[in-house]
Structure 1
């Protein structure tokens, strides 16, 4: 619970443009992105993206923050508010002002009357800026969870 409160505080700070590079690192930025998405705070989500952010999802692409914000971001936020996401593994590295964070997880719940149970992979590339770590690229992929998959927490 304490970690969730910290991420929520970070989301509020980012939403009010108070976050600084010294406050959080790449993994915390990824956590803040997901927390803002789950809260439906599209302004905080957008604040964590560079203007030239590129988002790959299931074979589609949005080439800027403005394009993502105008198209898939509202639907992604609505989805994240009702479908539970869990992270099973995370790893990454950073240096010279760039970082990458790769996550494996699961999404489970229902959305618009449809049952959701999918294994997920995510890669985020981040750049260190004067305003903190910002996401420059997201690559999301998922597949239907096999019947024998370990249940989400």
Structure 2
């Protein structure tokens, strides 16, 4: 099967799973205590994943990823094994030397599903004088062991003049 056909299938499956989870899960009030607690736990899980990347701890980083996680980056959809085998090392190396300012802009919890949106502003340097902007979307689900990352989408661009 050509690579693009596999990617379309993975993306289609991701969209279908996300739609079912969010449409079937009962919404929780933003003002409710459970929602604040869940939001904090979602942020903690994503922050733990990023911290593990920065520390170069592949075992810890992997523990936050669901078995069926899909990672979307640079126009490619990667399964868990693809990501662990081909991209995790590069992400840990990049995280160690990252100089960007990451800001969480949205956390939404719907039942046992959640998503988090963050932006990262990286200042300019000699290789990229204008710097870059990155956006991140993480979809998580609640399991007996806590919140797990089910999908990651990273997108970045060089800042325009």
When Rg is computed on C-alpha atoms for both structures, the one with the higher figure is 2
CA drift of 1:109 comes to 7.5
Q: How far apart are the structure 2 equivalents of 1:55 and 1:49?
A: 10
Residue of structure 2 equivalent to 1:91? 106
Residue of structure 1 equivalent to 2:122? 107
CA drift of 1:108 comes to 4.6
The unaligned stretches of length 5 or more in structure 1 are: 1-20, 148-153
Query: How many residues in Structure 1 have an aligned counterpart in Structure 2?
Result: 123
Please say if residues 66 and 149 of structure 2, whose CA atoms lie closer than 8 Å, have aligned partners that are also in contact.
yes
CA drift of 1:146 comes to 3.0
Please say if residues 72 and 153 of structure 2, whose CA atoms lie closer than 8 Å, have aligned partners that are also in contact.
yes
Please say if residues 124 and 132 of structure 2, whose CA atoms lie closer than 8 Å, have aligned partners that are also in contact.
no
Equivalent of 2:55, from 31, 39, 46? 39
Residue of structure 2 equivalent to 1:77? 92
Please say if residues 83 and 108 of structure 1, whose CA atoms lie closer than 8 Å, have aligned partners that are also in contact.
no
**Structure (1 or 2) with the greater strand fraction:** 1
Please say if residues 102 and 122 of structure 1, whose CA atoms lie closer than 8 Å, have aligned partners that are also in contact.
yes
Q: How far apart are the structure 2 equivalents of 1:104 and 1:88?
A: 5
Residue of structure 2 equivalent to 1:11? none
**Structure (1 or 2) with the greater helix fraction:** 2
CA drift of 1:31 comes to 0.9
Residue of structure 1 equivalent to 2:139? 125
RMSD, aligned CA = 2.3
TM-score calculated relative to the size of structure 1: 0.72
4+ long deviations beyond 4 Å: 113-116
The unaligned stretches of length 5 or more in structure 2 are: 1-36
TM-score calculated relative to the size of structure 2: 0.69
